[in-house]
């Protein structure tokens, strides 16, 4: 409401052509405010350990890079609006090998997982409709909701139980006449929490009962640890028409810049509608689709090595954090993020202070204040999201920084 007031105030006081209400409502990135401080810290000569972004340092599989180097096109033509047929067929086969119930005709290749969610939301939800999302959640869901004119209704998950699915009746209580969908991310960004099949079956019941869509962002599927197996929403029996899976090559093959994702559903009407959105934007990128298709040939040992590396990093990070007095960090078994509670009142202020004021052996750390991942005002104020995407030596140095910093910060502010 306040944003609307600001908007109309601008409307009255400016002589310029106005921007839209969406331009005002569109959220900036949760770390945007910190970026200038990180840049200043680096300019001053400090080493900044970036625990704030989910950009892995893992090599892209050689098979994908080779496909790019060996591209033999004379003309970089459009692909089909749903993506190259050969890629869709190969991708479906890949899902089937993983035991996930997907056929080629259930797939529209999109420009990143982002576009898949935008097409999915626009195809199913009217402006003013509500989408329920367990929080903390991937902050850009807010942006996609604004684009589609939707209201995000959060249900708070809690750090105490590692951000497990909130009690199903807490979710059901949020369902209104306007509720159209539930969005989950599994394994989760920012929590790293992997939903159990039981939790997903609970969700299935209310999805079925209230005839909702269930959007499942499963882009971290390969990153499951300690023997945990991901259960795909595509395998939930009886709600095949309600499930929309979002996928992407970004994290799986460390190809974030490729912008190749997929919208996946058994609901043919939805897929037909989504394809119209796809036709309007013509096609996803050609070269990187070819690379994504080649990436499907990545040998299993690549993932074994990557997963082993992330387990190592997670263990260093989570144990290191929990060894700092007053810090609590549940041990997630998926993705490459964790959320930690810090012994501070305002983690955003602490994160800024780390960049602006703090230095230990000329090093400091950039983290993402977790409040940006909550839609509930005031939630997560003393939490940070950490992406453990750095080499172990750097993670250890970063943990040392955080420990020294907290001691100093608490001494200063108390």
Q: Which of residues 114-173 bind its own copies (CB under 8 A)?
A: 114-115, 118, 122-127, 129, 140, 143-144, 147, 149
Q: Is there binding between residue 288 and its own copies (CB under 8 A)? A: yes
Q: Which is nearer to its own copies, 288 or 341 (CB)?
A: 288
Q: Is there binding between residue 233 and its own copies (CB under 8 A)? A: no
Q: Is there binding between residue 44 and its own copies (CB under 8 A)? A: no
Q: Which is nearer to its own copies, 115 or 217 (CB)?
A: 115
At closest approach, how far in Å is the CB of 326 from its own copies? 33
Q: Is there binding between residue 301 and its own copies (CB under 8 A)? A: no
Q: Is there binding between residue 332 and its own copies (CB under 8 A)? A: no
Q: Which is nearer to its own copies, 115 or 383 (CB)?
A: 115
Q: Answer for the pair 108, 271: CB distance below 8 angstroms, yes or no.
A: yes
Among the listed ranges 61-69, 196-204, 315-323, 396-404, the one in contact with its own copies (CB under 8 A) is 61-69
Per-residue binder mask for its own copies (CB under 8 A), 253-282, x = binder: -xxxxxx-------x-xx--xx-xx-xxxx
Q: Is there binding between residue 5 and its own copies (CB under 8 A)? A: no
At closest approach, how far in Å is the CB of 36 from its own copies? 15
Q: Which is nearer to its own copies, 202 or 289 (CB)?
A: 289
Q: Is there binding between residue 348 and its own copies (CB under 8 A)? A: no
Q: Is there binding between residue 190 and its own copies (CB under 8 A)? A: no
Q: Is there binding between residue 35 and its own copies (CB under 8 A)? A: no
At closest approach, how far in Å is the CB of 155 from its own copies? 19
Q: Is there binding between residue 196 and its own copies (CB under 8 A)? A: no
How many positions of this chain bind its own copies (CB under 8 A)?
Answer: 81
Q: Is there binding between residue 212 and its own copies (CB under 8 A)? A: yes
Q: Which is nearer to its own copies, 64 or 367 (CB)?
A: 64
Q: Which is nearer to its own copies, 5 or 97 (CB)?
A: 5
At closest approach, how far in Å is the CB of 244 from its own copies? 10
3-class SS letters over the chain? CHHHHHHHHHHHHCCCCCCCHHHHHCCCCCCHHHHHHHHHHHHCCCEEEECCCCCCCCCCCHHHHHHHHCCCCCCCCCCCCCCCHHHHHHHHHHHHHCCCCCCHHHEEEECHHHHHHHHHHHHHCCCCCEEEEEECCCCHHHHHHHHHCCEEEEEECCHHHCCCCCCHHHHHHCCCCCEEEEEEECCCCCCCCCCCHHHHHHHHHHHHHHCCEEEEECCCCCCECCCCCCCCHHHCCCCCCCEEEEEECCCCCCCHHHCCEEEECCCHHHHHHHHHHHHHCCCCCHHHHHHHHHHCCCCHHHHHHHHHHHHHHHHHHHHHHHCCCCCECCCCCECCEEEEECCCCCHHHHHHHHHHCCCECCEEEECEEHHHHCCCCCCCCCEEEEECCCCHHHHHHHHHHHHHHHHHHHHHHC
At closest approach, how far in Å is the CB of 20 from its own copies? 5
């Amino acid at each position: 409401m306040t944003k609307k007031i600001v908007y109309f105030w601008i409307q009255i006081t400016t002589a310029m052509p106005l921007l839209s209400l969406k331009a005002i409502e569109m959220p900036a990135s949760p770390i945007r405010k910190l970026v200038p401080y990180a840049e200043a810290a680096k300019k001053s000569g400090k080493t900044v350990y970036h625990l704030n972004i989910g950009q892995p340092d893992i090599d892209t599989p050689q098979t994908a890079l080779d496909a790019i180097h060996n591209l033999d096109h004379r003309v970089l033509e459009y692909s089909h609006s749903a993506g190259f047929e050969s890629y869709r067929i190969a991708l479906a086969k890949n899902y089937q090998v993983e035991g996930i119930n997907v056929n080629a005709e259930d797939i529209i290749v999109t420009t990143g997982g982002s576009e898949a969610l935008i097409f999915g939301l626009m195809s199913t939800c009217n402006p003013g409709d509500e989408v329920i999302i367990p929080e903390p959640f991937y902050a850009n869901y807010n942006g996609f909701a604004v684009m589609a004119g939707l209201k995000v209704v959060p249900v708070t998950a809690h750090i105490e139980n590692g951000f497990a699915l909130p009690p199903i009746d807490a979710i059901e209580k949020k369902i209104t006449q306007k509720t159209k969908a539930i969005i989950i991310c599994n394994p989760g960004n920012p929590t790293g929490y992997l939903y159990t099949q039981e939790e997903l079956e609970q969700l299935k019941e209310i999805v079925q009962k209230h005839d909702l869509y269930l959007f499942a962002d499963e882009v971290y599927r390969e990153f499951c640890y300690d023997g945990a197996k991901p259960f795909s929403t595509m395998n939930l029996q009886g709600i095949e028409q309600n499930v929309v899976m979002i996928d992407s090559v970004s994290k799986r093959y460390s190809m974030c810049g490729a912008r190749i994702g997929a919208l996946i559903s058994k609901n043919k009407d939805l897929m037909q509608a989504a394809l119209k959105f796809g036709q309007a934007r013509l096609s996803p990128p050609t070269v990187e689709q070819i690379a994504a298709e080649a990436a499907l040939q990545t040998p299993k040992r690549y993932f074994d090595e990557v997963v082993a590396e992330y387990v190592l990093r997670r263990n260093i990070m989570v144990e290191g954090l929990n060894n700092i007095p007053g810090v609590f960090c549940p041990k997630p078994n998926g993705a490459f993020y964790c959320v930690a509670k810090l012994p501070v009142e305002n983690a955003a202020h602490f994160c800024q202070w780390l960049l602006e004021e703090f230095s230990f052996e000329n090093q400091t750390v950039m983290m993402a204040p977790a409040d940006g991942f909550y839609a509930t005002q005031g939630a997560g104020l003393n939490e940070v999201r950490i992406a453990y995407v750095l080499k172990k030596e750097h993670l250890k140095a970063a943990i040392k920084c955080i420990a020294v910093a907290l001691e100093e910060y608490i001494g200063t502010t108390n």
